[in-house]
Structure 1
Amino acid sequence: MAVQLPNVFLKRMQELLGSEYDDFLASYDSPRYAGIRVNTLKISMDSFLKLAPFSLKQVPWCETGFYVDEQIKPGKHPFYHAGLYYIQEPSAMAPVELLEVSEEDRVLDLCAAPGGKSTQIAAKLKGTGLLVTNDISSERTKALAKNIELYGVRNAVVLNESPERIAQAFPHFFNKILIDAPCSGEGMFRKDEDMARQWERHSIAKCTVMQRDILQIAADLLAPGGRIVYSTCTFAPEEDEAMIAEFLSDHRQFEIIPMTRETGISPGRPDWLDWLYRKGEGPEFPADIASQTEGCGRLWPHKVEGEGHFFAVLERKKDGQQTDEEKYGIISSETKRNQRDDMKSKSPKRLRKAPVGDHKQSGEREQLKAWETFAEANLRAKLPGEPIMFGGHIYLSPLSKDQLDGLKVVRPGWYVGTVKNGRFMPGHPLATALTAGEVVRVLDLTVEDGEAVRYLKGETLAAEPSRIRCLDGADPKGYVLITVDGYSLGWGKWLDGLLKNEYPAGWRWT
């Protein structure tokens, strides 16, 4: 066996799996599975299947997911840099599918970094509704924000907050919440041997404390009739069936929605609750609670082509008597005032650290005017969101400034650019979320001739004026959207036959 598994872990799994244990153990000698998920925000499934540069095999539980040969290195292709697909472990695609996101939903991804599931949610929203994507680690939010930008998401707010503070600002506001909970990671041992080595450090006991708190707060964030999907990448029943049974015991307004088994998802294991009870490591749950956990789901590495995962779909029953806050996600002025006073008394430094600017001030009005002037001259589409200033930059936000007041915001919306010396400088995320039909000037590159890779490396390109597609008889001089086979990569600035490369240094092909 290539992976060195902890002896304590092996003994537990042998007790839990019984006759299945040998098959489970043998799965660690099988290769891990690599996958990509098509980003339908930027390309349709039909178009991608025609363009796909490598062979694909469908992932059963995700219609936009495909197995690929890991040796092909899908991250080394211009289509990856165009955000046409996300590289994702196949089992990790299941939680968002179970969330059943619809257009206009208000969705919270509570433990989101590095952002793969957030981009999956965004694709299902199709530019409508709202996505709030959060991670408590400030370092991890860097990757989260970058993925939101690369994959062309226009309607997302990125936070670096504790769940408690989000609940203060948005009580009963979201109708869909994803909790990809921090866990002991047992299901990822084959994919990441370091997780096996650090298993005892990330103990089950430590993880259950965090999971319990997160679930409790998520209940306060969810609107009546809303849905929570709780997922882990571990086999430990303490973090899975027992965590859900405990939550249901304390929250009788919730119920488990059983999931279909047609895609290879196995049922939950209520018998493992009895195993914990007999060992003195868990309570005895009421029969009606314990039986519900069979409606949870598991992906087993010895049964499917993927790693180990657990899922629970929880829905909050609609109450007869609801406040306006619960019904519509409306936060009253009094509630907002009390929350702001409470947060100011607890952490005034944090409030000053990430304020959302007041664009009524004269200097900010001038900067917003510069953005409007740029948009009128270079864009041919009305873009969604409210223009706001944040940290000296301009964003189009799906939320008002009042709703974000007091929160630690990483991105208050779609980053469009900044103003320097009175001139608007478009940001890279503006380009990645635009389509060729929304801009005045476009230069399309192809994969075959190598120009796309040269652009991604930051090189200056030669381009005759006839290659710049200009709308409405515009002059080719100015900002140009660079595309590869029609899909946006970034900005360039054309003048006298040369394209100055505006692709960010930190994003370049290496």
Structure 2
Amino acid sequence: MKLPEAYSRRIGASLGDAEAYLSCLAEPPVKGIRVNTLKISASDFTKISPFPLEGKVPWAENGFFISEEKPGKSPYFDAGLFYVQEPSAMCAAPLLDVRPGENVLDLCAAPGGKGTQLGEAMRGEGLLVLNEKVPDRAQVLSSNIERMGICNAVVTCCDPQTLSERFAGRFDKILVDAPCSGEGMFRKEPAALENWSERNVLMCADRQQKILHSAAKMLRAGGRMVYSTCTFSEEEDERCIENFLADHKEFVLLQEEKLWPHRVRGEGHYAALLEKTDEVEGGSRICSPPRKNNKNFADKRAVALYKDFASEFFVSAPQGEFLSFGRSLWLVPDALFRLDGLKVLRSGIQLGEAKEGRFEPSHALVMAAARDHLGKVCSFSKEEIGAYLRGGTLACAENVSGWCAVAVDGFPVGLGKAVGGVLKNHLPKALRHF
């Protein structure tokens, strides 16, 4: 790997074992997956894993090393049983130690690896706000939240400063996985190496300070924040935190981790755990955020049609508060606060739409449902599921009719509608394997 001369010089000056680091860049990147414990336990997944698991990731309870080139080809991926994630990147979310019932913000959340870790730890209780400023990346984030079945999540597409003006002091925990120069991506993504420059490092460091400043406003007194990057430059890591603490006397540094690819099995990562000991003088001390925007009331007709549908489709239907957004009926988190005026891609579970006296369920509904809560499930072989994921119809029993969860080994991958022994495919076209 040919490195920029300036980068090699910087590493040589700052790292005592620089030669070992530079040598390891010739090795292949390390791969990993994280089991989604909202759908299956890690121990149960080890029994059905479609590819070899090569040991546990030490810093992530449900993380495993793999060598499989294309883990996303498995239907278990579509079922949301695991998330493909670089092992080092799994270190940041556990530092935050989120608990069920808390208000949590992932401020720079796409594509969703760390955010889904937070969602799993929250077990569907409390409020998880995941924000991504870039629209295309926000769509990817929303899709991953849906696939993993996280029901208490809100996905927004906003500038961090915009959120800070609305949500001062409202979060118990905040994760800032900041955009960075990507020095920990050199083995994995050649573009990161091509785009590296000292100028870009300094630009990233400046942007990171602004993002941290916005995050600081939104954290309550006594709350905790994790700042992380996938880079090694001191300007973006240790010095970034030093500069932040110099400007924010209300914060203290509790813990700092730096993973290097020649010292651990991974591509490398930086994470710092901070605590907000008190509010800035004259700052906000909001404890109870305003509740939902009442103008988004639930359409009574849609709710009635949904309940009729749910009585047949579920053994135990998901519970919560109904709200209507446009033509869609949603089940929103109990802790949800007002989002009017913000660009919101997802707020809880999209249940579906009422259409001409019937209810048409959404893909998100079946992905959020616990497997043992579903009443109408059609399970198929992996080969048949492969055909379904490519958009094909499937044969089913003649006595099956109406909406069904289409499942592999009992784990839903989507919806189908049975008519006369044929299960019509209702997998969203954007999710099909072409």
Bin the TM-score by the shorter chain: over 0.9
Deviation for aligned residue 1:107: 0.9
Residue in structure 2 matching 1:255, options 230, 236, 252: 252
2:296 alignment counterpart: 358
1:10 alignment counterpart: 8
Q: Does 1:481 align with 2:416?
A: no
In structure 2, stretches of 5+ residues that fail to align are none
Q: CA distance change for structure 1 residues 382 and 58 in 2, over 3 Å: closer, same or farther? A: same
Q: Structure 1 CA distance, aligned partners of 2:367 and 2:23?
A: 43
Task: Give yes or no for contact 1:33–1:70 (8 Å, CA) kept in 2.
Answer: no
1:453 alignment counterpart: 386
Residues 370-401 of structure 1: per-residue CA shift (max 9 Å, x gap) = 32332234223242332112232221111678
Paired residues for 1:164-183 under 5 Å: 164-183=161-180
Higher-Rg structure is 1
Query: Secondary structure of 2:403's partner?
Result: strand
Query: Secondary structure of 2:99's partner?
Result: coil
Deviation for aligned residue 1:218: 0.9
1:312 alignment counterpart: 272
Q: Does 1:435 align with 2:406?
A: no
Q: Does 1:215 align with 2:212?
A: yes
Aligned length: 433
Q: CA distance change for structure 1 residues 418 and 164 in 2, over 3 Å: closer, same or farther? A: same
Deviation for aligned residue 1:428: 0.5
After TM superposition, the score normalised by the length of structure 1 is 0.80
Q: Structure 2 CA distance, aligned partners of 1:464 and 1:156?
A: 36
1:471 alignment counterpart: none
Query: Secondary structure of 1:440's partner?
Result: coil
Residue in structure 1 matching 2:304, options 355, 358, 369: 369
Task: Give yes or no for contact 2:395–2:421 (8 Å, CA) kept in 1.
Answer: yes
Q: Does 1:69 align with 2:67?
A: yes
Paired residues for 1:399-418 under 5 Å: 403-418=338-353
Letter in 2 for 1:204: V
Q: Does 1:196 align with 2:200?
A: no
Query: Secondary structure of 1:165's partner?
Result: helix
Deviation for aligned residue 1:359: 2.7
Task: Give yes or no for contact 1:99–1:227 (8 Å, CA) kept in 2.
Answer: yes
Query: Secondary structure of 1:66's partner?
Result: strand
2:289 alignment counterpart: 330
Query: Secondary structure of 1:418's partner?
Result: strand
Query: Secondary structure of 1:63's partner?
Result: coil
Task: Give yes or no for contact 2:126–2:335 (8 Å, CA) kept in 1.
Answer: no
Q: CA distance change for structure 1 residues 506 and 201 in 2, over 3 Å: closer, same or farther? A: farther
Q: Does 1:503 align with 2:427?
A: yes
Residue in structure 2 matching 1:303, options 250, 256, 263: 263
Q: Structure 1 CA distance, aligned partners of 2:110 and 2:23?
A: 31
Q: Structure 2 CA distance, aligned partners of 1:177 and 1:387?
A: 27
Task: Give yes or no for contact 2:52–2:68 (8 Å, CA) kept in 1.
Answer: no
Q: Does 1:379 align with 2:314?
A: yes
Task: Give yes or no for contact 2:251–2:277 (8 Å, CA) kept in 1.
Answer: yes
Task: Give yes or no for contact 1:436–1:483 (8 Å, CA) kept in 2.
Answer: no
Q: CA distance change for structure 1 residues 455 and 406 in 2, over 3 Å: closer, same or farther? A: same
Task: Give yes or no for contact 1:136–1:161 (8 Å, CA) kept in 2.
Answer: yes
Q: Structure 2 CA distance, aligned partners of 1:322 and 1:95?
A: 31
Instruction: Answer 1 or 2: which has greater helix percent.
Output: 1
Task: Give yes or no for contact 2:363–2:427 (8 Å, CA) kept in 1.
Answer: yes
Task: Give yes or no for contact 2:309–2:359 (8 Å, CA) kept in 1.
Answer: yes
Q: CA distance change for structure 1 residues 24 and 311 in 2, over 3 Å: closer, same or farther? A: same
Q: Structure 2 CA distance, aligned partners of 1:400 and 1:52?
A: 36
Deviation for aligned residue 1:65: 0.6
Letter in 1 for 2:331: L
Task: Give yes or no for contact 2:313–2:375 (8 Å, CA) kept in 1.
Answer: yes
Q: Does 1:31 align with 2:14?
A: no
Task: Give yes or no for contact 1:357–1:389 (8 Å, CA) kept in 2.
Answer: no
Q: Structure 2 CA distance, aligned partners of 1:168 and 1:133?
A: 16
Residues 259-281 of structure 1: per-residue CA shift (max 9 Å, x gap) = xxxxxxxxxxxxxxxxxxxxxxx
2:327 alignment counterpart: 392
Q: Structure 2 CA distance, aligned partners of 1:402 and 1:178?
A: 19
